[in-house]
Structure 1
Amino acid sequence: MSNRTDSRAGRPSRGAEASPWVGLQGKARRFLDTPQLDYRVLMTVTVALVVIGLVMALSSSMVTSVEGGGSVFSSFVKQAVLVVIGLIAMWVALRMRPTKIRDYSPWLLGLAIALLLLVLTPFGTGGTEVGSKSWIRFGSVGIQPSEIGKMALAVWGSASVAVHARRERTFFRGMGPFLCVAVFILALVLGQNDLGMMLSVGLVVFAMLYFGGASSRVLVGGAVVGAVIGAVFTLTHSFRGARFSTWVDAVTLSFSEANSQGDAYQAKQGILSLASGGLTGEGLGQSRAKWSYLPEATNDFVFAIIGEELGWIGAGLVILLFAFLGWFGIRTAVRQTDPFLRLMAATLTVGIVFQAMFNMGYVIGLLPVTGVQLPLISSGGTSAIITLASLGLLMNCARHEPAAISSMQHEGRPWLDRVMLLPEPRPYTAGGEQRAQARPRARRYGEPVTRRPDRTDRPTRRDSPPRSPSRSPYRSSNRTRRQ
């Protein structure tokens, strides 16, 4: 019938009474299933965070640049140069094949361990956290090896776990090499007295165990051991014990007069700066807290300057960008067929996003102050370079999703990939690396039974024995049979 009604009940069909939300859900689902969507979103989020970071580096460093005897743009120019170096590192990470990343990961790990050991020598200097020794300085250039160690542990750990977890049946045999190296790196970071970086590296280790298939008992045990080490590490240093009392004051918003001018001064000024912006903020560059009222305004507490100048809208935009980074980073990991890319994408995503959550958490008073930076927004050379390189590896994983590879093979690479001279991604085949390595190696099991003689082995006419009168032995045998 033309009216498409239910003759039994006299009601319209299912298509007529369907809710409009069903159609919107279908469109949203199709949009989320678009090939290369994860790659494009990750690229857009990275560019947006870099732009926000450069703008806030200029706004928050004006006062400190003038106080240091330079121009208003001195600190901004230094940060911009470091960001350009980080973008080059991101481009290199985007161009590399996954097999090359896997092959170079032991060298990256060795470099990170060597630099971490060098920090403990007289070449090491203090860091942003009080009492820490986490930097190496070569003249005016400073390097924070713990940032390199965190990325190296994520990349090499993904390659190690992806290989050993498939070969070994037991957990400790599959995760054993990674756990030994992770404990060693955590011990080196712990020797630097840098609690913030120890938490960041510990997050990478926990993420590797979780996405590597560790049981809940192992995860809970690792979390308990980490909490005990952190508690002992805090109680042995008086200034870190004061941070927990400051955290209680920040959560309850009950700052005493004496504590407000002492240990809780930075936390209180950060909350006041964040709250004074209101909904729309005081305006870009109009912060009052950066005039020597808020310590570390360009580094650890730059999120408070964002809230003061751009308001809750600007702060919410930063939170939303990191939320998109976390969501599409995990989507990238879920859609991988290569175990190495799956683990690397998930671990790098957790390492970046949770570090941002820690930073914003202690700025608003929900977490104790740990001294970790806000990725891509806080001023810092090593952090910016390593974070951009890690995002390059993450976007490389997004380019190697099966749907993205298929779309690039049929429709061609995006215009941005052609501009950046990125090669076309190759599909992953299980066991392809082992076959490629075994193919060039020819194995000999002895002399062949049948072998065509070389020309040198053939007898010459002079050395050849005289032929029989018959032309062919088969013909002679036939003659004999006929006779």
Structure 2
Amino acid sequence: MRRAWDRPLTAYYVIIGAGLLITTLGLVMVYSASMITALRYELVPSYFFRKQFFAALLGTGLLLVASRMPVKLHRALAYPILVGAVFLMVLVQIPGIGHSVGGNQNWISLGGPFMLQPSEFGKLGLILWGADLLARKQDMKLLTQWKHMLVPLVPGAFMLLGLIMLGGDMGTAIILTAILFGLLWTAGAPTRLFVGVLVVAGAIGALLIKTSPHRMDRFQCIGATDPGGEGAPCLQAAHGIYALASGGWFGSGLGASVEKWGQLPEAHTDFIFAVAGEELGLAGTLSVLALFAALGYAGIRVAGRTEDPFVRFAAGGVTTWITAQAVVNIGAVLGLLPIAGVPLPLFSYGGSALLPTMFAVGLLIAFARQEPAAKAALAMRRPGWGKRAGVRWKSMRRRVKKRPSGER
């Protein structure tokens, strides 16, 4: 196993395989978990699946484009993506343009049933901009000074956090904070600096939670097993536990979930992992966890083996984003963390979350291809395949020519 993992192309194939498997399994579960919700709104059962499948097709295109782009072009896209995301996040706060969903003002209507959540693209923008910024400062040997490590990275991240918190989206703010910590950690921030930023962010977060009864209710529902009556704050958390508990070892089978018939809110978005546990059982949920673990470990390997500082910072940021969001989502479903309202990456329903995440996976694929050993292995594999095929063809032709005419 160790020898297999140390091969040059292992991380490359693991990122491709884990990313596509999570997305494919997510499409299956979106179809299963959303059928009842679609019927409740008098829509065809496959309504949400069709939208997610269309987003997955677009995301696959973005993944392929990102995986083939050179690193210089990724760096060139950092500022346009960040500025575009900030512009859209400002538009969200303008009455008549921004829309509120679930109590959070963080959506823009694109016409008809299509909605856009700009904060999801803000995560990608922060990673690319932060990685480019830190890489340029490292080239100038400035990261040994605290002020150059923090400015303007931390003020820029706080600007994004402010725009997100204006809409009340605490869950996305948590993930954005995790990305900031991931960038600082990858840049080699000293423990005192890291702890200081963490304390400040924790104090601000505690204040925001304490002053919001809705957020306090979510904290009180950690580990709750009593759903209460209709509209009770712990209804979703308790029924998520019920779904997981009734799944057993191998689940009740695809489409056979009971909780998705109305007891479990947001069954196809934030709590899709609970439906997966009910229908696929412990074996299914452990498989999903293993795929996320493999994707995260491969991302860490790419960040650790590269000599390009931008690749190291960007790979570390993307890996932190996907793994932290998966931990927050799954932890909420298991009753170990408060419900943050964030989707499971690549798995939950939602095109706004799927598109930038698939582009980020494409970044990891491109970075894995840029490793010197991986690049050499890919360069040797292509001409080698053609040479071996040519030798086999010539050998077959010689054997045919040497046979007597009656045996041909």
Q: State TM-score, norm by structure 2.
A: 0.90
Alignment of 1:53-202 (within 5 A): 53-122=26-95, 123-128=97-102, 131-140=103-112, 141-167=114-140, 168=142, 169-202=144-177
Q: Give 3-state SS (helix, strand or coil) of 1:134's partner.
A: strand
What whole-Å deviation, never above 9, does each CA across 1:412-465 have from its counterpart, x for those lacking one?
Answer: 2899xxxxxxxxxxxxxxxxxxxxxxxxxxxxxxxxxxxxxxxxxxxxxxxxxx
What whole-Å deviation, never above 9, does each CA across 1:260-304 have from its counterpart, x for those lacking one?
Answer: 861111111110011101101001110011111100000010000
Aligned residue in 1 for 2:245? 275
Separation in structure 1 between the aligned mates of residue 33 and residue 169 of structure 2, nearest angstrom: 25
Q: Does 1:311 align with 2:284?
A: no
Q: Partner letter of residue 329 of structure 1?
A: G
- For the 8 Å contact 2:228–2:235, the answer to whether it is kept is no
- For the 8 Å contact 1:109–1:156, the answer to whether it is kept is yes
Q: Give 3-state SS (helix, strand or coil) of 2:108's partner.
A: strand
Separation in structure 2 between the aligned mates of residue 388 and residue 242 of structure 1, nearest angstrom: 33
1:325 Cα offset (Å): 0.8
Separation in structure 1 between the aligned mates of residue 104 and residue 357 of structure 2, nearest angstrom: 22
Separation in structure 1 between the aligned mates of residue 384 and residue 326 of structure 2, nearest angstrom: 30
Separation in structure 2 between the aligned mates of residue 259 and residue 292 of structure 1, nearest angstrom: 13
Aligned residue in 2 for 1:388? 358
More helix by share: 2
Separation in structure 2 between the aligned mates of residue 230 and residue 265 of structure 1, nearest angstrom: 24
Separation in structure 2 between the aligned mates of residue 166 and residue 35 of structure 1, nearest angstrom: 27
- For the 8 Å contact 2:60–2:358, the answer to whether it is kept is yes
Separation in structure 1 between the aligned mates of residue 22 and residue 243 of structure 2, nearest angstrom: 21
What whole-Å deviation, never above 9, does each CA across 1:364-419 have from its counterpart, x for those lacking one?
Answer: 1000111010011110010011110110011111111111011122222899xxxx
Q: Does 1:38 align with 2:48?
A: no
- For the 8 Å contact 2:250–2:283, the answer to whether it is kept is yes
Q: Give 3-state SS (helix, strand or coil) of 2:109's partner.
A: strand
2:321 to 306, 330, 351: 351
Gaps of 5+ in 2: 386-408
Q: How many residues align?
A: 381
Aligned residue in 2 for 1:232? 207
1:207 to 182, 186, 189: 182
Q: Give 3-state SS (helix, strand or coil) of 1:76's partner.
A: helix
Separation in structure 1 between the aligned mates of residue 207 and residue 189 of structure 2, nearest angstrom: 26
- For the 8 Å contact 2:134–2:187, the answer to whether it is kept is yes
Q: Give 3-state SS (helix, strand or coil) of 1:186's partner.
A: helix
Separation in structure 2 between the aligned mates of residue 45 and residue 242 of structure 1, nearest angstrom: 35
- For the 8 Å contact 1:134–1:144, the answer to whether it is kept is yes
Alignment of 1:353-372 (within 5 A): 353-372=323-342
Gaps of 5+ in 1: 1-27, 416-483
Alignment of 1:314-463 (within 5 A): 314-412=284-382
Q: Give 3-state SS (helix, strand or coil) of 2:152's partner.
A: helix
Identity across matched positions, percent: 38
Q: Give 3-state SS (helix, strand or coil) of 2:101's partner.
A: coil
1:214 Cα offset (Å): 0.8
1:109 Cα offset (Å): 1.0
The root-mean-square deviation of aligned C-alpha atoms, in Å, is 1.6
What whole-Å deviation, never above 9, does each CA across 1:330-371 have from its counterpart, x for those lacking one?
Answer: 001111111100111111011001101110001010001110
Q: Give 3-state SS (helix, strand or coil) of 2:253's partner.
A: coil
Q: Give 3-state SS (helix, strand or coil) of 1:376's partner.
A: coil
- For the 8 Å contact 1:306–1:315, the answer to whether it is kept is yes
Further displaced range: 305-314 or 94-103: 94-103
What whole-Å deviation, never above 9, does each CA across 1:25-57 have from its counterpart, x for those lacking one?
Answer: xxx332122111100011000111111011001
Q: Give 3-state SS (helix, strand or coil) of 1:75's partner.
A: helix
Quick one: higher RCO (CA 8 Å, sep 6+), 1 or 2?
Answer: 2
Q: State TM-score, norm by structure 1.
A: 0.77
Aligned residue in 1 for 2:272? 302
Separation in structure 2 between the aligned mates of residue 180 and residue 297 of structure 1, nearest angstrom: 36
Q: Give 3-state SS (helix, strand or coil) of 1:279's partner.
A: coil
Separation in structure 2 between the aligned mates of residue 239 and residue 341 of structure 1, nearest angstrom: 40
